[in-house]
């Protein structure tokens, strides 16, 4: 596990509210129980269950969202999630979250994203680069100052705004417009997520097309359930990346490979939600052997009790890959990030500078 932790890594599929620390979730739950806002016996079975179906995972998200409704909590979880990724040497993080409106606490989609940015800016324990690279922005991979004998961790963070499949076309368009407004602060793209058994993804096509026309990157949750037509249509749309790809049929694999769309692979998440029966039959092996662009990701490190180092270790052990191969897998992910070429250059330099260790 040691080398999986120390190796530089890129995280491209992490949902903010799915990545909350257990200790924070517990603290927030206790506070609400104390106020009589929730009854623990009613939620206990969802919180404590290990393998949850996709439907149960979404019930858990509804519960988590009750716990994280105010601006301060959103800022806090953002800070903690970034600190946690940085602590295991994630050097570039694309964090995604669904902007939420909550009139009871005066929260608009915009103020939600501002709270996320406040959380980002409040981090002092690691160096965070979160604005698009420009002449006077911090350059990440200059030699890090030593603090107490340890180099300070440094991480690039970019944001993706998610559209939830429960939303309307108009609400999705609002999210895209917000992403455009927030581009100067590091929002680089749009994600379509939420319960895959709900709604029709074409509801969001106008917003997704608009996002793409305006130069935002798009990634789609695709193939989390068997829905051949949706998978085909999503691939026809040619998003810049897709997540999961669990229920692909032969024609989808052919289409995916000919389009070369990178796949965000979430091993633990897929096995825990039973969208893949077991790790040994995971499509990672199929795509890896075909040299298809892919990136290992956590999805929801809090909900699935994982971290990116663990995902690398699981892939190495399950598919018989050595350090060299895992390092190359990590390094290749630089090419699939949604940030600009200057940042890619910085990241390539960083990976090259440590490549010998993994050779």
Residues with a known catalytic role = 224
Q: How far is 308 from 13, CA to CA, in rounded Å?
A: 10
Under rule CB under 6 A, residue 224 binds ligand 5GP = yes
What size, in residues, is the chain? 359
Nearer to ligand 5GP, 18 or 239 (CB): 18
Under rule CB under 6 A, residue 196 binds ligand 5GP = yes
- Minimal distance in Å, beta carbon 351 to ligand 5GP? 28
Q: What is the DSSP string of 214-265?
A: TT-EEEEEE-SS--HHHHHHHHHH--SEEEE--S--HHHHHHHHHHT--EEE
Q: Pick the closest to residue 321 from 287, 276, 273, 288 (CA basis).
A: 288
Q: How far is 333 from 154, CA to CA, in rounded Å?
A: 18
- DSSP-derived 3-state class of residue 70: coil
Could you say which of 88, 230, 300, 311 contacts ligand 5GP (CB under 6 A)?
300
Q: Per-residue x/- marks for ligand 5GP, 139-158, CB under 6 A? A: --------------------
- Minimal distance in Å, beta carbon 194 to ligand 5GP? 4
Are the beta carbons of 180 and 126 closer than 8 angstroms? Answer: no
Burial class (CB in 10 A: 0-12, 13-18, 19+), 160: buried
Nearer to ligand 5GP, 72 or 353 (CB): 72
- Minimal distance in Å, beta carbon 48 to ligand 5GP? 19
Could you say which of 9, 17, 231, 308 contacts ligand 5GP (CB under 6 A)?
17
Are the beta carbons of 268 and 246 closer than 8 angstroms? Answer: no
Could you say which of 73, 78, 89, 97 contacts ligand 5GP (CB under 6 A)?
97
Stretch that binds ligand 5GP, among 141-149, 179-187, 192-200, 205-213 (CB under 6 A): 192-200
Q: How far is 309 from 1, CA to CA, in rounded Å?
A: 7
Under rule CB under 6 A, residue 193 binds ligand 5GP = yes
Burial class (CB in 10 A: 0-12, 13-18, 19+), 354: middle
Nearer to ligand 5GP, 294 or 343 (CB): 294
Per rule CB under 6 A, count of chain residues that contact ligand 5GP: 17
Could you say which of 164, 167, 174, 264 contacts ligand 5GP (CB under 6 A)?
164
- Minimal distance in Å, beta carbon 98 to ligand 5GP? 3
Question: What Å distances lie between residue 70 and 23, 24, 67, 97, 257, CA to CA?
Answer: 18, 14, 8, 15, 43
Nearer to ligand 5GP, 8 or 194 (CB): 194
- Minimal distance in Å, beta carbon 241 to ligand 5GP? 14
- Minimal distance in Å, beta carbon 23 to ligand 5GP? 18
Q: Pick the closest to residue 262 from 282, 286, 245 (CA basis).
A: 245
Under rule CB under 6 A, residue 194 binds ligand 5GP = yes
Under rule CB under 6 A, residue 221 binds ligand 5GP = yes
Under rule CB under 6 A, residue 61 binds ligand 5GP = yes
Q: What is the DSSP string of 126-176?
A: SEEE-S---TTSPPTTSPPPEETTEEPPEEEEEEEEEEETTS-HHHHHHHH
Under rule CB under 6 A, residue 15 binds ligand 5GP = yes
171: left (phi over 0), alpha (psi -120 to 50) or beta: alpha
Stretch that binds ligand 5GP, among 10-18, 199-207, 228-236, 333-341 (CB under 6 A): 10-18
Under rule CB under 6 A, residue 311 binds ligand 5GP = no
Q: Which residues bind ligand 5GP (CB under 6 A)?
A: 15-18, 61, 97-98, 162, 164, 193-194, 196, 221, 224, 269, 299-300
């Amino acid at each position: 596990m040691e080398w999986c932790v120390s190796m530089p890594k890129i995280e491209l599929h992490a949902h903010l509210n799915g990545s909350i620390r257990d200790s924070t979730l517990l603290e927030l739950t206790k506070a609400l129980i104390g106020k009589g806002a929730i009854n623990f016996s009613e939620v206990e079975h969802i919180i404590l269950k290990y393998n949850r179906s996709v439907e149960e995972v979404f019930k858990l998200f509804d519960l988590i969202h009750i716990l994280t409704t105010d601006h301060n909590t959103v800022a806090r979880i953002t800070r903690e999630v970034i600190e946690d990724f940085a602590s295991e040497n994630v050097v570039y993080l694309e964090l995604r979250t669904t902007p939420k409106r909550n009139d009871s606490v005066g929260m608009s989609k915009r103020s939600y994203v501002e709270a996320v940015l406040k959380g980002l800016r409040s981090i002092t324990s690691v160096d965070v680069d979160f604005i698009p690279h420009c002449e006077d922005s911090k350059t990440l991979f200059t030699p890090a100052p030593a603090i107490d004998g340890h180099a300070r961790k440094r991480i690039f963070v970019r944001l993706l705004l998610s559209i939830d499949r429960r939303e309307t076309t108009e609400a999705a368009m609002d999210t895209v417009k917000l992403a455009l407004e927030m581009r100067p602060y590091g929002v680089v793209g749009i994600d379509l997520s939420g319960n895959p058994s709900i709604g029709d993804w074409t509801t969001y096509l106008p917003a997704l097309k608009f996002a793409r026309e305006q130069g935002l990157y798009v990634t789609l949750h695709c193939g989390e359930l068997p829905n051949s037509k949706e998978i085909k249509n999503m691939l026809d749309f040619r998003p810049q990346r897709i997540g999961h790809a669990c229920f692909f049929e032969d024609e989808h694999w052919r289409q995916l490979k000919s389009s070369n769309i990178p796949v965000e692979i979430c091993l633990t998440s897929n096995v825990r939600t039973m969208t893949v029966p077991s790790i040994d039959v995971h499509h990672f092996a199929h795509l890896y052997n075909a040299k298809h662009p892919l990136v290992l990701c956590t999805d929801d490190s809090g909900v699935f009790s994982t971290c990116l180092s663990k995902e690398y270790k699981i892939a190495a052990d399950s598919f018989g890959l050595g350090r060299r191969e895992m390092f190359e897998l990590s390094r290749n992910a630089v090419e699939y990030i949604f940030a600009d070429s200057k940042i890619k250059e910085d990241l390539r330099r960083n990976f090259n500078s440590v490549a010998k260790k993994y050779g």
